[in-house]
Every structure is written in structure tokens, then in C-alpha cells.
Structure 1
Amino acid sequence: MTIVDQTTPAPSTAEERPRRTRTIVGWVIVVALVLLVAFVAIRVSASSPGARGTLDPEGRDDAGALALAEILREQGVEVSVFRSRAEARAALGDDTTLVMTNPYTLTDAGLRELIDPAARVVFLSTGTHLLNTIDIGDNAPGSSDAVSAGCDVAEFADVGTIRPDRSFSPADGVDACFGDDDGAAVLVDDRSGDHRVVVEGTRLFSNAYLAENGNAALALALLGQTDRVVWYVPSFADTDIEAESPDTLGSLTPPWVTPVILLLLAAGIATAVWRGQRFGPLVAETLPVTVRASETMHGRARLTAQAGDAPHAGQALRDGAQRRLARRLGLAVHAGADEVADAASDRLRIPRGTLQSLLAGPLPADDAALVDLARRLDELENAVEASTGTAKGER
């Protein structure tokens, strides 16, 4: 059997070279873009989020507190911003208010060292640990309904109403304002002679909400009682917490493990490159290519046998028998099963329905039915051959 490939010949190596170059350039561009995006993402994530964070007196965004700092300056209060606790502590004086958000970057000792020299301290935000450290109260349930001062602290008399962000239950001897003894938005502690205030002002004193309700009046009542405000901004750059480096896989394994892993990776890459290389250029074979019919027949037979596909094998037997019967009965090679059955029925005097069932009936479902179909087809071919007087070996 001769198989002629009429498709367009494959392009030569010289024609493939520009296409391969364009592919390589495209992948290089993709890798460069991925690296660029990763670099930008790392730089953005590595930037300090606390540089202009919540209630930062120099922050101009909605969460900053620049508006509050400017209002204090307009009222004649000197506002000094410090990002170093040592500098903030050195700047404290007699008529000074120390202001900060929750100093979560400081240890308990570092916090006490900072606030001890201050006669007046205001925490604009807080956490459970801070409440316990300064022993001023604890968290309490509350609502965001508008509340007035409701306490005897004189500076809050003209504040009006606010909508608290968070409520606290006061410790013994601590004044609870803007709420009640069960839950108040502001805690004022004068027990030791020093004036310490805790309020959750993340929303109350930010640029976005300072003009609402009595928020600005409350801020002035808290921070405008002295001529000078020392505003300390906590950050991880000024922390005194000494973190212990956690154990890593490298610290827990022997020193020789890392070199061995790197050596195995290098060997794997070298093996992949070695095995992935071609053994030489592609060899062009002149067409057409002649393939023996027996090779294709045995190949299809092996595939069918491995697949255990009895219906497909049965159909192949029928197709071959039908072509051979059509040739012996003087019909066209591509005659249909009905035509072959009619001609064979006339020649052999066999009912037409029996031959139609044999040539076009249900296909065998298993090997036993396949063997039976092959036997019956062989008997039909022998009968037609005998009726035409043609020797079987002349097929």
C-alpha cells in the first residue's frame, strides 16, 4: 500500500529560526514584566505602613490627624511631633500634654519610662494590654448612640454630644465620661496626681470625622488645656521589643544538608538539559513513502487486541468480507450491505433477511460472539466462492 502525503512540505530549519527567535523574545518580555510587577509589589509591601498611619498628626488622608494638629496650632497650642520616644521624653515639660495612639510597639517598661515624667497623658486609641498596663479600666459593651459628658470633669462641660467608637468600664476611682459606669467612651484617671485620659478616637479625631458632632470640641478639651503638646507617633522603627528569631528549617538541619540539596538541584537541571537535547537535526524523508499493507493490518490488529474492542473488530471483519463478496458477485467495490445481501441471496438461494443480519446486524459484544461472526462470514465467503466456481486461492 502506498501512502502519498499531499500536504505542504515542512519548513526548513532556516525558516523556523526567525519564528523561534520571536518566541524566545516574547517569553523574555513576559518574564521581565512578571519580575517588574513582583518588584513593585515587594517595594509597596515593604514600605512602612505606620509612616503616615492612623491619627498621624502629619497625615493628610482620611485616617490622619493633621486637621486636629492645625486646629490646636490655631488655638495657640504649640504642637511638636516626635517619632522617637527618647526625643519625646526629653521634650516633656511642666505645662505639656503627652499625646499618642496605642503604643503597641513599646514594652511595658518602655511605656512607663516614656509617660512617667508627663503630668498629663492622653491616649487617642488603646488596646486591652494598654488598659491593663496603666490599670485604668477594661473593655465594655456599648452603643454608637450620641452621648454627652455626664461626668464632673470641667473641660467636658461644653463639648456637646459624640458617637463613641468604643466603650470602657472604669477601674475604681477613675471617672467615666460620655457614658455611664457600665460603659463610657472616655476614662479620666487623676488618682496618682497625674492626669491620664484614655479614649478610642480613631474615628472621632481623624480628618474625615473631626467636624462631626462634638468631636472637635472634645479634642480641644483633651489637648488644649496646656500651652504645648508633645505628640509621639509609635512605630516599629522606634520599638524596644527585642524579638527572638524563630527556628527555621536551616537552623534545625545539619550544615551539610543545604549543599547537598543545591548539588542535587544542579544535577537535576544538568540531567534535564542533557536529556532534553536533540540527537541531531531532523532528517527529511522524500515523499511518497511506501508502507506495506501487512504492516498497517498487523498494527491495527494489535491495537484492537490490546483494547479488547470486539465491536470494532467485528465491524472491520464485516467491511473486509463485504468488499470481497462485492468483487466476487460482480458488484461495485463500495456496494452497500443491502446490495451484497441481495446478490448473495439470489446466488445461494438463502433468505435475504439472514444475510442482512449477518452483514449489517448488531455487532458482537464479546470475544465469543466475535469468533462466531468471523466463522459465519468465512462460511458465506466460501459458499459464494464455490458458487462462482472460483478457487479460494485465486482471491
Structure 2
Amino acid sequence: MTAVASTPTRRRSAIGWFAIGLIIVIVGSVGAALSGLWNWNQREALDPESAGPLGSLALAEILREEGMQVIVARDRETAARELDGRPATLVLPDSPALSNAAVLALARIATDVVLIEPRSRTLHLLMTGAATAGVSANGPVEPGCDVADAVRSGPVAPRAVFTAEGGEAISECYAAADGFGLLVGPALQDASAGRVAAIDGRALFTNESLAEDGNAALALNLMGRHPAVVWYVPSLADTDLADGDPSLGELTPPWVTPVIVLLLGAGLAAALWRGRRFGPLVAERLPVSVRASETTEGRARLYAQSRDALHAADQLRIPALGRIGRALGLGTGASAAEIADAAAARTGLDRAAVRGTLIDDIPRGDADLVALDTRLRHLEDAVHAAVRPERNPR
């Protein structure tokens, strides 16, 4: 008997596969969008092209309005090329992807360096004796130093503070907590021509905080001393650090990858070969007819061979419970205990004896099974007699 799938069935199957593919595309697109959004949120902090709360686009625009050329360098080659050969200020955030040599190479060709996210490493490299000193929760503080750029800017509210122990040529401004909000020292290559400044740009120079106190004036005074401002934006891709740990691919033998690909291809081919379906399942006639009595006898022989008397007893009790429950008018959801209690109450038989017959008694052998079958038939007869008693003839 041949089964041919109808056109509506094929159409429904095609629509189902199309819906699955569409769901996969949508989920992938949403995941990619969320991943990109997360990456953007990560990179927008102190980014001169970001208009978000943590970006610094407002400061870059102010510098341009004051006549400075602001160059955004997203790799160190561009930053080095723009700094070389002219007076320029290097705005340098924390750059963990660069080695000490790469940081020093950029700083040496810049006239001024403004560290807007100082960490212990960059402070140690560019300002001898400088170190981090925690954070301050105080409000705006006065400069309290002789640095003209800070004096003209007025009070600010620094968060990260620093110290310059042993750095005699370093000026300390904005005393707060256990340190100072601004350090200004001589440049690496020529102390008379340039300088290095360290300040917490995340607290003062972002779009959301630039308009507070003297933040904008201080940023303009520190970065606007030269015609060009090269703002370096670090990234993990722009690194000169060599990874000394071998990768998983380097540790595995060269034959592993081809074998994995071959196994995957074989598994896919087997799935397509054995998993194909040409249409809906159809019922076919058996080549021979098997009488119900033969099936019952065969199952009985299996129970007898396995000596599973309890399972055989359940095969006797379950149909009997269904018939007794229907005779008593109980619903299909009635439990065995409820049926046993109802049968005892209707027939007047001992409740424990009825529950033993229907539930509790455990047969030990064939003789017990025969006795249980007899008791079940007598109980069914008693229930039917109680439910539909014969009328006595007049």
C-alpha cells in the first residue's frame, strides 16, 4: 500500500521549516545586536566620538571650536604618525593592550601628555614617584597649587586621587582625601618644552560631567596648549603584546581537525540518510491475523516464565477496578482505594477484605492468582447484584 503526501501536507511542512529558519535568523540577529550594543557600551567611555553619557564628544567639539585640530587615533601607528614632527598633545587613556615600550614610544614623541585614566603602570612609566592613592568622596575643592591652568579653571570635584612621593618636579593640585586630583610634571624628552599631566577623566571630562564646576575649563587648559590634539583610543586589537601561552589548536596534533570534520560530515550524512521521511505515516494491514486469545496466552506464558505474580495480579485487578467503578457510577478519576471503599459500602462486605482483594493482598504463586481471580469475580457479582437487584416475582 503506497502513501502519497497531499499538497496541503507538503505546504504545511515547508511553512514549518521556513518558520524554524526565520526564528533562527531572528535569534541570531538579536544576539548579534545585543553583543554589538555591549561592545559599544564598553568602548564609549572617554571616546571622543561617543555622544553617550560616558563619552567625550562634547570635549572634542569644544577643543575644535577653540581652533585645535582633534585627531582620533584608534591604533598606535596613526597616533605616532600624527604626533611626529609637530607640537601636539597626546591624550592617553589606560592602555592595557600596549607594552611598556609602546607606551613610552608614544609619550616620547608627544609634546604634552594628558593621562585621563591613570593607572599605576602609566604613572610609574611617565611620572617618576607618582602613584594612585584611592578615591575621594568630597565635593569641589580649590586648586591649592601654582599651576596656572588649574588656577584659571577654579574648583573641581576629583574622584581618583594620586600622590607624588619623591617626585620633586611634580606639582600637586586639588588636595582631596589622601592625595591630589591633578599631577603635573615634566615631559620625558624635554622638561622645558612639554609636560605630563595625570587626572581622572572619567569623573571630570565625560559628556555627563563636563558642564559641572570648572571641568570644561580645566580640560581645555590641559589639552589646548598646542595646535593639535591626538586622542588615542585603545583597543584589544591594537596590541604589541605576544601571547606566550599556546592555544588549543597548537597543542593538538595536526590530524585531529580533519578527523573531527570527517566525523561531523559522516554524522550529518547518516542523519540525512536514516532520518528522511517521505510523508505522513500510514496504517498497513498485517500479512497475517492474530487472534486475541493467542496474544493473551502468549502474554500469560511470559508472566508465568518470569514468575512475576504481582504483575499478573495487576492485570487481573485493573480491569476489575474499572468495571466495578463503572457499575458504581464513579468517575474515571476515582482511585483504587475509593472504588474499594464504595464497593464495600454498597455490598455490605468487610472493608478490609474488599481492599485486600482489590489492592493489598500480594499473591505468592499460581494458586494465589487463581484464588484472587475467583474473589474478584465474586466481588464483581456482588456489586452488580447490589446495584441492580432482581425483583422478586409476585
TM > 0.5:
yes
1:186 partnered with 2:182: yes
1:254 partnered with 2:253: yes
> Structure 2 CA distance, aligned partners of 1:39 and 1:244?
32
- Which residue number corresponds to residue 59 of structure 1? 50
Judge conservation of contact 1:177–1:186 (CA < 8 Å) in 2: yes
Deviates more, 1:105-114 or 1:161-170: 105-114
SS in 2 for 1:185: strand
Deviates more, 1:23-32 or 1:274-283: 274-283
Corresponding residue pairs, total? 342
1:306-347 per-position Cα deviation (integer Å, ceiling 9, x unaligned): 583376256369789x9xxxxxxxxxxxxx978998xxxxxx
1:81 partnered with 2:71: yes
Cα gap change, 1:355 to 1:300, in 2 (>3 Å):
farther
1:129-162 per-position Cα deviation (integer Å, ceiling 9, x unaligned): 2112224411212322122212222322243322
Task: Write the letter of the residue equivalent to 1:70.
Answer: E
Deviation at 1:378, TM superposition (A): 5.2
> Structure 2 CA distance, aligned partners of 1:77 and 1:175?
28
- Which residue number corresponds to residue 210 of structure 2? 210
Task: Write the letter of the residue equivalent to 1:142.
Answer: V
Judge conservation of contact 1:364–1:370 (CA < 8 Å) in 2: no
Cα gap change, 1:69 to 1:266, in 2 (>3 Å):
closer
Identity %: 30
Judge conservation of contact 1:100–1:123 (CA < 8 Å) in 2: yes
- Which residue number corresponds to residue 331 of structure 1? none
> Structure 1 CA distance, aligned partners of 2:353 and 2:109?
109
Deviation at 1:27, TM superposition (A): 2.1
TM-score between both structures, scaled by the size of structure 2: 0.69
Task: Write the letter of the residue equivalent to 2:11.
Answer: T
Task: Write the letter of the residue equivalent to 2:311.
Answer: D
Task: Write the letter of the residue equivalent to 2:160.
Answer: R
- Which residue number corresponds to residue 136 of structure 2? 143
SS in 2 for 1:156: helix
- Which residue number corresponds to residue 154 of structure 1? 148
- Which residue number corresponds to residue 62 of structure 2? 71
Judge conservation of contact 2:171–2:185 (CA < 8 Å) in 1: yes
- Which residue number corresponds to residue 348 of structure 1? none
Deviates more, 1:292-301 or 1:353-362: 353-362
Deviation at 1:68, TM superposition (A): 1.8
Judge conservation of contact 1:51–1:235 (CA < 8 Å) in 2: no
Judge conservation of contact 2:309–2:364 (CA < 8 Å) in 1: no
Deviation at 1:205, TM superposition (A): 0.9
Cα gap change, 1:368 to 1:258, in 2 (>3 Å):
same
Structure 1 stretches lacking a partner, 5+ long:
1-11, 323-335, 342-351, 383-395
Matches within 5 A, 1:1-395: 13-14=3-4, 16-35=6-25, 37-38=27-28, 41-42=31-32, 45=35, 49=40, 53-74=44-65, 76-83=66-73, 84-90=78-84, 92-93=86-87, 96-136=88-128, 137-146=130-139, 147-172=141-166, 173=168, 174-179=170-175, 182-190=178-186, 192-193=191-192, 194-224=194-224, 226-236=225-235, 239=238, 241-244=240-243, 247-276=246-275, 282-285=282-285, 291-296=291-296, 298-299=298-299, 302=302, 308-309=310-311, 312-313=314-315, 315=317, 357=353, 361=357, 363-368=359-364, 371-372=367-368, 374-375=370-371
SS in 2 for 1:169: strand
> Structure 1 CA distance, aligned partners of 2:89 and 2:300?
94
Judge conservation of contact 1:92–1:230 (CA < 8 Å) in 2: no
Cα gap change, 1:31 to 1:359, in 2 (>3 Å):
closer
> Structure 2 CA distance, aligned partners of 1:313 and 1:44?
58
Cα gap change, 1:339 to 1:160, in 2 (>3 Å):
closer
Deviation at 1:179, TM superposition (A): 1.4
> Structure 1 CA distance, aligned partners of 2:238 and 2:157?
33
RMSD: 4.5
Cα gap change, 1:319 to 1:157, in 2 (>3 Å):
closer
Cα gap change, 1:133 to 1:364, in 2 (>3 Å):
same
Deviation at 1:200, TM superposition (A): 0.9
Larger Rg: 1
